[in-house]
Amino acid sequence: MKIGMVGLGEMGAGIMERLLLAGHQPLAFNRTRSKAQPLIDKGMRWADSPRAVTDGSDIVLSMVTNDDALEAVAAGSDGILAGLQPGKIWVELSTVSPATIRALGERVTATGAALLDAAVLGSPLTIRQGKLLTMCGGDEATFERARLVLLDVGPTVRRVGEIGHAKVMKVALNLNLPVQILALSEGVLLAEKSGIAREVALEIMLGGVVCSPMLAYRAPFILNMPEKAWFGVEMMQKDLNLALRLGQQVDVPLPTTSVANEMLTATRAMGLGEYDFAVLFHTLARLAGIDSRPGPAP
């Protein structure tokens, strides 16, 4: 299958790297071409619009920032939808609302093509290590046609249900991330203000049963922030707001998610919004009366 991709941000670029390593020569579009140049140098082919990607591909992957960005690459004469036709598959990987992806599914069906609702579980590090998990929502026939391509990105590809279910699962997973960081931060700061060195408290926390795989690779950011945020505060808060809206729709209270969301708002108010969301530690530290600084902004 000829592969195309729209959106080459931090995660999208990582996915493209995996496709190139697997021997593919995907056709791709990104809003800023200069950011795609390193991938072009590695063999990726450039397209001048999302439609050009669709025209030259059997299967199109997309990963953009939010609902508005998805509509921007989907609609119009240069959009993905304009290039779809029977036999083509669109695998949509962005973290957007379930309602948005379901509505998109109807628009794709009208073209005769097929949509696969998808989402990934992992980070830029997970992608580089070849450990990405991909969740998919859609009919089984479409899933099976896209599965081999997705296996070139990561070793675990699983169908979780119908269109919309992958986005639901992604939101349900992502709400755990800041909640875990916040809980870890509370424990470390309780120890620190009681006289235990921050580094010691963090080392012990990460060596015990409370350490999840996510905390193992992200909690060290508490001591040394990455130069570029893996998952920025604003993007994290966007996902929490998706979770909170979904919780209201299906009558599931999300108390810890609500607290984490408010803490992210406080983080932005303190001028720390450009950092990875692990900066929540420093937000809480300041509220505890500690002059805690994450270092230069990414």
Residue at 166 is within a domain: no
The alpha carbon dihedral of 142, 144, 149, 153 has a sign of positive
Same domain flag for 80 and 215? no
pLDDT in tens, 197-239: 999 999 999 998 889 988 998 899 999 998 888 899 999 999 9
- What per-residue confidence (pLDDT) applies to 230? 87
Question: What is the tally of structural domains in the chain?
Answer: 2
Same domain flag for 146 and 200? no
Same domain flag for 123 and 210? no
248 Cβ neighbours under 8 A, 6+ residues apart:
none
* Domain end among 133, 161, 189: 161
Same domain flag for 136 and 204? no
The alpha carbon dihedral of 250, 241, 146, 116 has a sign of positive
pLDDT in tens, 255-268: 999 999 999 999 99
Q: Tokens standing for 9?
A: 């941000």
- What per-residue confidence (pLDDT) applies to 264? 98
Range of the domain at 82: 3-161
- What per-residue confidence (pLDDT) applies to 122? 83
The chain-wide mean pLDDT, for the chain, equals: 94
The region, left, alpha or beta by phi > 0 then psi within -120 to 50, assigned to residue 48 is alpha
Same domain flag for 119 and 200? no
Residue at 170 is within a domain: no
DSSP labels, 55-96: HT-SEEEE--SSHHHHHHHHSSTTSHHHH--TT-EEEE-S--
